[in-house]
Every structure is written in structure tokens, then in C-alpha cells.
Amino acid sequence: MKAIKTLSIAAVAALSLMSAASFAQSVSVTDSTLDAAEAQIAAKAQQQGAHYKITSANTNNDVHMTAQLYK
């Protein structure tokens, strides 16, 4: 009985981690300024009811920004 309880707890923990990780979504945008690129990222996050973390931003003639969205 103890083994079944332990396996059940492990299964619930694994499923909880999978559901959180399955939502993490990478998004990329391109715009002319850092502020405008971040505004696009923020809008995408808001549409999905998520928070975001910028993971990269590169500038040449334009700004290319990548972020992870999390619920």
C-alpha cells in the first residue's frame, strides 16, 4: 500500500511539472526599437494571459527579440 501511495505522489508531481513546462512558449519579434519590440512581446503575452521573460535581443538595422511566455 505504501508503494502505491509513493507511486501516486510521484505521478502527480511528474504531471504537474509537465503541464507547467508544456505551456512555456518561445516567441520572436522584429521591430525598429527595443521598446517597440518589447511592446510586441508584452502584447503577445497579454493575449495569452501569460508573463514573459526576454531571453535575447539583437540589434543591427532592426531589433530582433526572443522571449519565453509562462502562465
Span 9-42, pLDDT tens digits = 544 555 555 555 557 899 999 999 999 999 999 9
CB atoms within 10 A of CB 11: 10
What digits encode the pLDDT tens for the residues 3-16? 554 444 544 555 55
Give the DSSP H/E element, type plus range, for residue 52.
strand 51-59
* Cut 0.85: pTM above it: no
CB 36 within 8 A of CB 59: no
Which residues are within 8 A (CB) of 58 and not within 5 positions of it... i.e. 6 or more apart? 64, 65
